[in-house]
């Protein structure tokens, strides 16, 4: 933001960066984050309905499950520094024809108290799914080239200042090679002069 002289910026990252604290920090700093949610968790591992199959209603804070039943808050706990609330409807599960696709006993769905920040990001991603492809084509190319073709898998230097110097040279060489691929040497020289 400082380099571009702007007060708002968008940040697109891969699933490895999906962490609610960081997403919140981005919003607070004027950064609009786009990070896809990893599909994981015990229910997914067991082949049960994923959490996305459950619709959250903020007022009065309930989930509607794939069977159309209402899951209500049943337990309050913590996940790192976040308040986590579990929702369930044991009676409905016991009588449910979808139970074998949903749970072994009765289903709990968890939601963090501050999870609305993730809902907002999911809505942004649904509206602009192409940003993820833009990220991978623009960001993965340098990583792949630097690591595989330039054999820069690990830094040779130690200490931040030295590593910065090493990476600056790597980036300079990458940029020159990339420019030569795109506009050839005469084009690069002409651009440098211009
Ligand atoms: S098992 Fe429970 S949570 Fe799952 S679909 Fe049936 S009623 Fe809903």
Is the pLDDT at 132 greater than 90, yes or no? yes
Does the beta carbon of 109 lie inside 6 Å of ligand 1? no
Is the pLDDT at 182 greater than 90, yes or no? yes
Q: Count Cβ atoms within 10 A of the Cβ of residue 58 and give its class: 0-12 exposed, 13-18 middle, 19 or more buried.
A: exposed
Verdict on whether the full-model pTM lies above 0.85: no
Three-class DSSP category at 79: strand
Site to substitute for ligand 1 among 49, 64, 65, 68, most atoms within 8 A of C-beta: 65
Per-residue pLDDT tens over the stretch 73-88:
999 999 999 999 999 9
Is the pLDDT at 189 greater than 90, yes or no? yes
- Annotated domain spans of the chain: 1-128, 129-194
The pLDDT of 90-110, averaged and rounded, is 97
The predicted pLDDT at position 40 comes to 84
Nearest to 28 by CA among 124, 127, 117, 135: 117
| Contact in structure between 13 and 35 (CB atoms under 8 Å) | yes
Cβ within 8 Å of residue 81, ≥6 positions away: 21
The Cα–Cα gap between 96 and 69 comes to 9
Residues above pLDDT 90, as percent of the chain: 88
Q: Count Cβ atoms within 10 A of the Cβ of residue 38 and give its class: 0-12 exposed, 13-18 middle, 19 or more buried.
A: exposed
The Cα–Cα gap between 69 and 103 comes to 14
Is the pLDDT at 41 greater than 90, yes or no? no
Is the pLDDT at 16 greater than 90, yes or no? yes
Does the beta carbon of 66 lie inside 6 Å of ligand 1? yes
CA–CA–CA angle 180, 185, 191 (5° rounding): 90
The Cα–Cα gap between 34 and 13 comes to 6
Is the pLDDT at 28 greater than 90, yes or no? yes
Site to substitute for ligand 1 among 53, 72, 93, most atoms within 8 A of C-beta: 93
Does the beta carbon of 53 lie inside 6 Å of ligand 1? no
Does the beta carbon of 99 lie inside 6 Å of ligand 1? yes
The Cα–Cα gap between 124 and 138 comes to 20
The pLDDT of 175-180, averaged and rounded, is 93
The pLDDT of 148-166, averaged and rounded, is 93
| Contact in structure between 48 and 70 (CB atoms under 8 Å) | no
The pLDDT of 98-118, averaged and rounded, is 96
Is the pLDDT at 161 greater than 90, yes or no? yes
């Amino acid at each position: 933001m400082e380099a571009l002289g702007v007060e708002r910026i968008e940040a697109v990252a891969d699933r490895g960066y999906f962490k609610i604290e960081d997403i919140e920090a981005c919003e607070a700093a004027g950064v609009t984050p786009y990070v896809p949610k990893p599909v994981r968790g015990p229910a997914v591992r067991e082949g049960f309905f994923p959490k996305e199959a459950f619709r959250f209603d903020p007022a009065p804070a309930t989930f509607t499950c794939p069977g159309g039943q209402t899951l209500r808050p049943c337990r309050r706990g913590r996940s790192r520094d976040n308040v986590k609330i579990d929702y369930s409807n044991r009676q409905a599960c016991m009588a449910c024809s979808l139970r074998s696709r949903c749970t072994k006993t009765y289903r709990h769905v968890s939601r963090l108290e501050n999870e609305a920040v993730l809902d907002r990001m999911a809505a942004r991603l649904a509206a602009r799914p192409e940003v993820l492809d833009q990220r991978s084509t623009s960001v993965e190319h340098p990583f792949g080239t630097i690591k595989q073709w330039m054999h820069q898998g690990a830094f040779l230097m130690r200490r931040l200042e030295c590593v910065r110097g090493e990476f600056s040279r790597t980036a300079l060489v990458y940029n020159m090679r990339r420019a030569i691929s795109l506009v050839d040497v005469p084009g690069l020289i002409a651009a440098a002069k211009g």
